Structure 1
Amino acid sequence: MDNSTLLYSGLGLVAATLGTAYTLLVLWSPDTIVPKPPEKTYRSPRKPSAKLPLPSVRDSPSVDLTVVIPAYNETARLPEMFSTTLAHLESTRTSQGRSYEVLVVDDGSRDGTADLALKLGAQYPQSDVRVVVLEKNVGKGGAVRHGMLHGRGRRLLMVDADGASRFEDLELLWKAMDEISPKGEAAVVVGSRAHLVKTEAVVKRSLLRNVLMYGLHTILRIVGVGHIRDTQCGFKLFSRRAAQQIFPHQHLATWIFDVELLLLAKELRMPVAEVPIEWHEVGGSKLNVFADSLQMLRDLLVLRANLLLGRWTVPRTTSPVENGSGKSK
């Protein structure tokens, strides 16, 4: 076999490999999540049987804070978390005049999570609790995205339903947001557990979860968010302008969606502050360490490849408008 034949064979192999990789990228890339009409409605403890239309994040804000709680089969963990959350929100409402809404996004639960959230909200007559039900489980990232696209707050907080983060630390995030976004500019503040790495809160976790944590940090430095020490903490505060610019362009609904949010913020040159918070592990996690680790790795590769190839882009605009499909126009 002469050199030219070898060359053509090599080029053919490279082309086939690239073609296969691109095909896999297309197949693995998730479609835009398009909400169904019933998912654009909410119920409240005041009228639990009535389904009312959700507003849009593109509307003018009408409360100071939206708290988005993604919840999937959370009847066991939600009561304590709800109690802590509403107690603090009511405290700041009376002491600081900070208005709020709590938006629970039931991610296709089968255990009555939505009905429980309505009952828990009814225990706080002055609260503004809204419950949205997704028809099927789309993943934590999809539930957070749905809530953020329909929040009314000047600032919007995502927080896990397990209550692992100390909700009172919202005030630390709030102060940091005041510093980097004094006039409501696009900005993100990330709650961080990085300072706990050598404490009992993390050391006593399972070996597999700690291996996953360190491995993930290494990969994140490669994909471009190594400047954030803890990307996965489910306690993040967004200015309204940041939510308007980030969430319409979020594609990932799986566990690694936080990384996409931070990459989008970086792409849009938004300031991002990282604030240490208190955290403790809560039983009942739905994370399957082995299977979800593989999925995280795949999704990180899909995310980075789509951004590098320009398949996923973010328009440089200060006031994106969401249409019915969840895309910007």
Structure 2
Amino acid sequence: MPLSDPFMFPFRRVCGPASDTSVLMFCSQGYLVLLAWTPPPLYELPSEKHYCAPKDPKTPHPLPSIRDAASLDLSIIIPAYNETQRLPSMLSSTLEHLASFPKRTFEILIIDDGSSDGTATAALRLAADHYPKADVRVVQLERNRGKGGAVRHGMLHARGRRLLMADADGASRFADVELLLSALDALAPAESDAAGIAIGSRAHLVNTEAVVKRSLLRNFLMYGLHTVLRLVGVGHIRDTQCGFKLFSREAARALFPRQHLATWIFDVELLLLAKSLRIPVAEVPVTWHEVAGSKLSVARDSLQMLRDLLVLRANQLLGRWSTMEERLKAE
């Protein structure tokens, strides 16, 4: 295959005008592996562009767009995969806290990520029975996309000036959203069109019982992940994986349409995009505790994270996925 072939363009950037056939073959094989590992573009099915509400759970309503103007103060996006057991407690603590701020308008978007335990139905029934006045919307994805895919879907259809992703297990204390809101207001005032992100961080818990009591394997993999993250360019963030992150509407508009990864490591892609776009990020210590029932398989998903990090950086370096601000503006 000649080096002038368009298919070979990425090889020339990495390998140069190599005359050694073995080097060319190595690059070719590596590129084919990258293509095989690269996930397909994220997309939405027609049914997923609608939500159901507790008052009329069988009637779908069209979802709005992140491109629309904000119409309320706070959107809470909860990705949920088989969460019938843990969601009630999380919703209870969330709505109990929000009740303390009666002037704050909000919505709760529960994204059922292709659950098999009736999470969507249970969420609608729970809201109808216990929180009939709360603005709860439930979206059901037809198949499991991964946490990143569920979060992205919710962000693209939220109405808030501030958009919070919060895990369904309630591991992060929801009241700490006030700390994130204060930090985000310092970066990007709510009345402005500025972009900013405030992320919950558990880095301050490293030497406490919350982390020390975890398994040796889990802590080893945690430190290994941190080392790799420094190498890929997000070493300035001490905790990239906490599932408690707050975005201004402008930041959400800039980041989520360009997200490629739907797996656990999607947070890293968002933070790399934010870094390239010079969107400021505040890392805020939050209260966190381990909750039983995690969907994370430590060994398997750690290997998946490592592979996805390699895929992410390789696609960026080859120009297939760009984080460069001028490329994003050119789209």
Contact 1:82 1:120 in 2 (8 A): no
Post-superposition offset of 1:90:
2.2
| Partner of residue 229 from structure 1, selected from 233, 238, 260 | 238
Is 1:110 aligned to 2:116, yes or no?
A: yes
Separation (CA, whole Å) in 2 of partners of 1:46 and 1:146? 23
Is 1:198 aligned to 2:218, yes or no?
A: no
Is 1:301 aligned to 2:310, yes or no?
A: yes
Question: Could you say which residue in structure 1 is the equivalent of 2:155?
Answer: 148
TM-score by length of 1: 0.91
Question: Could you say which residue in structure 1 is the equivalent of 2:31?
Answer: 22
Contact 1:44 1:118 in 2 (8 A): yes
TM-score by length of 2: 0.91
Contact 2:276 2:325 in 1 (8 A): no
Give the 3-state SS of the residue equivalent to 2:151 in structure 1: helix
Report the count of equivalent residues: 311
Range 204-213 or range 162-171, more displaced: 204-213
Separation (CA, whole Å) in 2 of partners of 1:265 and 1:299? 18
Shift in alpha-carbon separation, 1:88–1:31, aligned structure 2, 3 A: same
5+ residue gaps, structure 1, are 1-7, 321-327
Post-superposition offset of 1:91:
1.9
Question: Could you say which residue in structure 1 is the equivalent of 2:77?
Answer: 68
Shift in alpha-carbon separation, 1:197–1:15, aligned structure 2, 3 A: same
Question: Could you say which residue in structure 2 is the equivalent of 1:177?
Answer: 184
- Describe how 1:139-288 pairs up with structure 2 within 5 A: 139-182=146-189, 183-288=192-297
- Describe how 1:60-139 pairs up with structure 2 within 5 A: 60-92=69-101, 94=102, 97-122=103-128, 123-139=130-146
Contact 1:166 1:278 in 2 (8 A): yes
Post-superposition offset of 1:33:
1.4
Contact 1:90 1:127 in 2 (8 A): no
Give the 3-state SS of the residue equivalent to 2:236 in structure 1: coil
Post-superposition offset of 1:124:
1.5
Post-superposition offset of 1:27:
1.3
1:120-164 deviations in whole A, cap 9, x for unaligned? 222122210000000000100000000000000001000000000
The percentage of counterpart residues that share the same residue type is: 65
Separation (CA, whole Å) in 1 of partners of 2:125 and 2:215? 35
Post-superposition offset of 1:43:
0.3
Question: Could you say which residue in structure 1 is the equivalent of 2:319?
Answer: 310
Separation (CA, whole Å) in 2 of partners of 1:281 and 1:215? 20
Separation (CA, whole Å) in 1 of partners of 2:44 and 2:18? 47
Question: Could you say which residue in structure 2 is the equivalent of 1:55?
Answer: 64
Range 221-230 or range 78-87, more displaced: 78-87
Post-superposition offset of 1:47:
1.3
1:42-83 deviations in whole A, cap 9, x for unaligned? 001111111000000000111111000000000111110110
Runs of 4 or more above 3 Å deviation: 314-317
Give the 3-state SS of the residue equivalent to 1:178 in structure 2: helix
How big is the alpha-carbon RMSD for the aligned residues of Structure 1 and Structure 2?
1.7
Contact 1:41 1:53 in 2 (8 A): yes
Give the 3-state SS of the residue equivalent to 1:236 in structure 2: strand
Give the 3-state SS of the residue equivalent to 1:51 in structure 2: strand
Separation (CA, whole Å) in 1 of partners of 2:109 and 2:300? 30
1:297-317 deviations in whole A, cap 9, x for unaligned? 000000011111110125748
Post-superposition offset of 1:206:
1.1
Question: Could you say which residue in structure 2 is the equivalent of 1:325?
Answer: none
Contact 1:108 1:137 in 2 (8 A): yes
Post-superposition offset of 1:9:
11
Contact 1:249 1:314 in 2 (8 A): no
Instruction: Specify the code of the residue in structure 1 equivalent to 2:137.
Output: R
Separation (CA, whole Å) in 2 of partners of 1:105 and 1:91? 25
